[in-house]
Amino acid sequence: MQKVQVQSIIDSLGKLVVDGVSVFSSSFTSFLLTSLSNCSTGKFSPTGLQPCYSCPAGKHSSTIGARSCDNCSLGYFSAAGAALCLPCPTGSYSDVEGASFCSLCPSNLPRTLSEGTISELDCTVSCSEGTAGPFRTEVPCQTCEPGKYTDTQNLKACKVCPISTYQPLNGSSSCLACPANYSTAFNSSTSPEQCLRICSVGEYGPYGLAENGTCSSCEPGKFTNTTRSLSCQDSCTSCQVGKTSSENRTLCEACPVGKFGVEEQGNVSCAACPSGRYQDKEGQVECVPCPAGSYGNDTQQTACYTCPAGLTTQTSGAASTNSSLCLLCPLGYYNDQHSQLACTSCPAGTFSDELGTTSCSVCQPGFYCPDAARSNETCSSCPAGQFSNITRASFCFSCSPGAYSQVPGSSSCQLCPSGSSQSESGTSSCSLCPKGKFANTEGTEVCSDCPAGTFSDQLGSRVCTPCGSGRY
C-alpha cells in the first residue's frame, strides 16, 4: 500500500487522522471516511475534532473546536455539557471554582443581595415590603417610618417618598399621591396638609407652590410660561433676542418682518433692517443680505428689488435709493432674466459688442466667433481660402483641393475654372495649367498631360492641339 506523505496524528480511538480526515486502517486496505467536524460548544476532544466529549459538571466550553474545558468561576456553576456557567441564584453562593452546584445560605440568613454570590459571608436576613434591615445581621428588620417606604423585599434601607407624594403611616410599601395640580415642597412628606397648590403660568411662590393658599402674579412687562415658578425675578424672564414686549405686557412678541432682534446692555429690542438687507420672517436675530442680482433701497424691507434684464449687482447686499447699483452686463456677456446672480458669457458663434444686452448676436455665414465672450469686436470674417455656410459658426472650413475663396467673409468656395488646378486645400487662388498640360473641367486638382499626337504651347490650356501632318 502506498504511504501517505502528510502530517498525521493518532487519536484516542486508534484512528489515523490525516489533515482533519480520518482513515481507518485494516490489514492492507484503508477506508477514507469523511472530513471531521469541530467540537461544538460544551464539548471537547484532545484534537478539537470529532468524536467529542461533554464537559463535566462544573466546567464549560464556550468555543468551537475546544481541546479542554474551563472551570466555572467563583459564584458560578454548571451541569455537564455546558457552554456557559450560570450565576448562583439569590439565596445561594459558590466559594470554589469548578462548582457543579451552589450552596444555600443558612436559614437565619436566607438571602443574598444579588446573583453570583461568592461567599457565605454575603448571606443576610430577609426583610418584607415596608421594612428594611442592615446587611448581614440577625437583628429584626426595621419598620419604615412615615414619609418612607419599601416596595420590594430585602432592601437595606427605606426609600423616601418623592415630591408630590406623602405617607402618614409606619411600615408602608408605597406613597400616596397629592391631588391633581398639588405638590409637596420636599421629599419624605408625612401629611396630606403638606400638599399645596402648584402656581400656574404667570404666577410664582415659594418652591413654586401656593403659600397660605395663594400664589403671587408676575408684574406687567414680565412673564412666566411654566408652572411652579419660584419667584418673579428668577422665573419671569426678560424677552430673548428676536422678541420684545411693550409696557404692561405679560407675553413677549416676536420681532415683525423687516426687523431683527438686538441686545444692548442687557436690554432687547427690535431694529429695522438696514438698506441692502431684508427679513421676511418674524422673530429673527439678523437680516439677510439682498442676493446678487437684487438690491434694497430702504430700511425695514421684507424683500429686495430685482435687477432688470441686462443688469446685475455682481455681489450680495447692494443698497441704493434706486437701481443704480445694478450694473450693465459687460461686453461679451448678456442677461435675459431679472434678478440674475451674474451675467452669462456669450457662447461660441455669438457676440455682444454692447453693454447691458439681454441676448447675444449670431455670427452670419462667412463669419465666425471662436471664443465665448468676445468683448471688443464682432464676428471675424473667414479668411481667404476658407468659408462658413452656417450661422453661429465658431470656426471656418478650408476650401477643398480644386476650389478656392479669394475674398474674406466667403460663405462658399468657387471651383477652379477649366485650364487651372489647385492640389492644396485652403487656398485663395488656382494655378494655370503649364505648357504641355490641360484641364477641360472645373474643379481640377491636378492638370493632365497632353496625350500623344497633341500639344499645348500656352499656359492655361483647356484642350491640347493635334500635331499637324508630318509632325508629332
Nearest Cα to Cα of residue 383 among 375, 395, 371: 395
pLDDT for 247 beyond 60: no
User: How much of the chain exceeds pLDDT 70, in percent?
Assistant: 81
pLDDT digits (tens, 9 = 90+) for 288-342: 888 877 777 788 888 888 777 767 666 665 655 344 567 777 787 887 776 566 7
The answer to whether residue 3 scores a pLDDT higher than 80 is no
Specify the pTM: 0.35
Instruction: Report the distance separating Cα 122 and Cα 102, nearest Å.
Output: 13
Across the chain, mean pLDDT equals 81
Helix (H, G, I), strand (E, B) or coil at 234: helix
Ranking 87-96, 321-330, 341-350, 438-447 by mean pLDDT, the lowest is: 321-330
Q: Which residues touch 439 (CB under 8 Å, ≥6 apart)?
A: 416, 418, 419, 420, 421, 433, 447, 448, 461, 462
Banded model confidence at residue 77, pLDDT cuts 50, 70, 90: very high
Segment 378-385 mean pLDDT: 88
Query: Is the fold of 242-328 the same as that of 433-472?
Result: yes
- In three-state form (DSSP H/G/I as H, E/B as E, the rest C), the secondary structure along 332-350 is CEECCCCCCCCCEECCCCE
User: DSSP letters along 257-287, please?
Assistant: TTEEEEEETTEEEEEEPPTTEE--SSS-SSP
Three-state SS at 314: coil
Measured CA to CA in angstroms, residue 12 lies from 9, 53, 67, 285 at distances of: 10, 12, 13, 84
Indicate if the pLDDT at residue 471 is higher than 90: no
Q: Reply yes or no on whether the pLDDT at 248 is more than 60.
A: no
The CA–CA distances, whole Å, from 72 to 52, 83, 144, 220 equal 20, 11, 40, 72
pLDDT in tens, 225-236: 788 887 655 444
- 28 burial (CB, 10 Å; 0-12 / 13-18 / 19+) is exposed
Angle made by CA atoms 158, 164, 168, in degrees to the nearest 5: 55
Q: Helix, strand, coil proportions of the chain in percent (round to 5)?
A: 5, 25, 70
Q: How many helices (H) and strands (E) does the chain have?
A: 1, 48
Domain 242-328 sits in CATH at 2.10.50
In CATH terms, the fold of domain 433-472 is: Tumor Necrosis Factor Receptor, subunit A; domain 2 (2.10.50)
Interatomic CA distance for residues 198 and 6, integer angstroms: 87
How far apart, in Å, do the first and last CA atoms of the chain sit? Answer: 106
Q: Residue 63 — pLDDT band, cuts 50, 70, 90?
A: very high
Work out the average pLDDT over 128-134: 82
pLDDT digits (tens, 9 = 90+) for 404-425: 999 998 999 999 999 899 999 9
Domain segments of the chain: what residues?
Answer: 242-328, 433-472
pLDDT value for 341: 63
Which of 57-71, 93-107, 267-281 is the least confident region?
267-281
* Residue 245 pLDDT level (bands cut at 50, 70, 90): low
List the single range of 202-206, 426-430, 440-444 with lowest mean pLDDT.
202-206
Would you tell me how many other CB atoms lie within 10 Å of the CB of residue 354?
A: 12
Q: How far apart are CA 331 and CA 377, in angstroms?
A: 9
Query: Bridge partners of 421?
Result: 431
